[in-house]
Structure 1
Amino acid sequence: MSSFVASLCLCISAILLPLVYSTSSVASTNGGNETDRVALLKFKAKITHDPFGVMTSWNHSVNFCEWYGVTYGRRHQRVTHLNLPYLNLVGSISPHIGNLSFLRYLNIANNIFSGEIPLEIRSLCRLKYLYLSYNSITGKIPEDFSPLLEIEIISLARNNLSGVIPHPLANLSSLKVHATATSQDN
């Protein structure tokens, strides 16, 4: 009788175990972090050239928490770091970056991003470090970075930005370092 019970338990486990795993993986892509996954896919969609193929891990078969350059917080399972420097990525910065509401660190320096800095970056109220230097970003620095209350470092050097550093940006109390925004790096 005990071998019958053991066999029955084994059969039940074989049936239920895949259900448990599929339910947990579905749960991990739903909820609050679905917003992050979609925002990252929109970011990827704006990349037109990826010479090293680092974005190939950014697909539906791999959990977004395991994508190259992505770090997520264990507590909320939300993206906290996006670290993609020195990869020769070509494209523009998706405005959907502003939906990564737990993002604290954004580094896409030393690539070939062009276009303007999306205004939606102001939505990243937890952002502490913003590295956009050594790209081909154009336009003016957005006037109002005041929602970025925790920002400590903004690096914008060696882009094709025009104008001056906006006064509100220079007066952010948490800002420790900021780089010159003009193409001449004055």
Structure 2
Amino acid sequence: MNISTDQSSLLALKARITSDPNRILSTNWSSSTSVCNWIGITCGSRHRRITALNISGMGLIGTLPPQIGNLSFLVSLDLNSNNLYGELPPEFSRLRKLRVIDLSVNRFFGYIPSFWGNFKDLRKLSIETNDFKGFIPNSISNLKNLRFLSMKFNHLEGNIPIEIATLQGLKVLSLGYNSLNGSNVLAFLNISSLENLDLENAGLTGALPSDLCRRLPRLQKLNLNLNLLNGEIPRSIVECSELQLLLLMQNNLVGTIPRELGNLQLLQNLDLGKNRLEVDSCAAFHTKGLNYITRIDPIYQKE
């Protein structure tokens, strides 16, 4: 395979595009010019093979051809914010050099392929806002270099696999707005690198673990809105000293809002609304930098 193979693969992709509203591919992707000069294409300086394909935000409608699997030097694939649809071709499995897969905000459907677990160099995997269904494959635990994982706004079901806890380099994890049963996920997550945990509307049940912040000490954003969490907000939440955003709206939380929240000096966004919480009249929410508090909605104020 050579650069001619890469060019043929992209021309096959172009042929699958049924709508190109900005006429970018139709006018720029031409065999009369070097493929390395096409819009959205990056070639490596050493082998002169395509290393990055970025056609995000072009409003394209179409499907992926099997020839996509011939881009054997591809490191980054960014197709986000289009109207691409269909199942991913099995030939996708050949793209073993990939570090970035961003398919977000499209209409891809079918099951999440287990072969993604073979992409050992993958750093970012984002498929949010599509129509994928089925279970999150356990093979995801093979992605030891993964830093960013987002699968929210799909039709995934079943448990959040415990194997996710083995991704010790993960910084962003977002799985909400699926049909998941995430009843025990907060109990087993032990990823010290995690900075952003977004499990809004992820089917979480049970209580907030008292040792959550000890296991996730670098959390900056914690979004657990729209779940079925119960019990009290643990006072140990203050151990998440880097928290900037804390969203616990619309759960079944009870008890007193911990005054320790006032010690979170970096907190900027706090939402505790639509729970059954009491507020201590002495509680201080004068956290430095806190500029957005919505719907604390206590059921009564303790004197």
Letter in 2 for 1:88: G
Q: Any conservation in 1 of the 2:17–2:61 contact (CA below 8 Å)?
A: yes
The 3-state SS of whatever aligns with 1:114 is strand
More strand per residue: 1 or 2? 2
Which of these residues, 116, 119, 143, is aligned with residue 145 of structure 1? 116
The gaps in structure 1 that reach 5 residues or longer are: 1-30
Superposed, 1:109-124 pairs within 5 Å as 109-124=80-95
Q: Does 1:53 align with 2:19?
A: no
After superposition, the CA RMSD in angstroms is: 1.4
- Structure with a larger share of its residues in helix: 1
Contact 1:165–1:180 (8 Å) recurs in 2: no
* Runs of at least 4 residues off by over 2 Å: 181-186
The residue identity in structure 2 corresponding to 1:51 is: P
TM-fit CA distance, 1:93: 1.4
Relative to the length of structure 2, the TM-score reads 0.50
Give the TM-score, by structure 1 length. Answer: 0.79
Aligned length: 156
Specify the alignment match of 1:92 in structure 2: 63
Query: For the residues of structure 2 that align with 1:126 and 1:103, how far apart are their CA atoms?
Result: 6
Determine the C-alpha separation between the residues in 2 that align with 1:83 and 1:167.
28
Q: Does the Cα contact within 8 Å between 2:108 and 2:132 map onto a contact in 1?
A: yes
| Separation in 1, partners of 2:79, 2:104 | 8
Structure 2 distance, partners of 1:111, 1:104, is 20
Q: 1:170, CA displacement in angstroms?
A: 4.0
- Are the counterparts in 2 of residues 123 and 148 from structure 1 also a CA contact under 8 Å? no
Partner SS state of residue 101, structure 1: coil
Match of 2:135 in 1: 164
The residue matched to 1:77 in structure 2 has which SS? coil
Higher normalized contact order (CA 8 Å, seq sep 6+, divided by chain length): 1
Say which one has the larger Rg.
Answer: 2
Among all aligned residue pairs of Structure 1 and Structure 2, give the percentage whose two residues are the same amino acid.
36
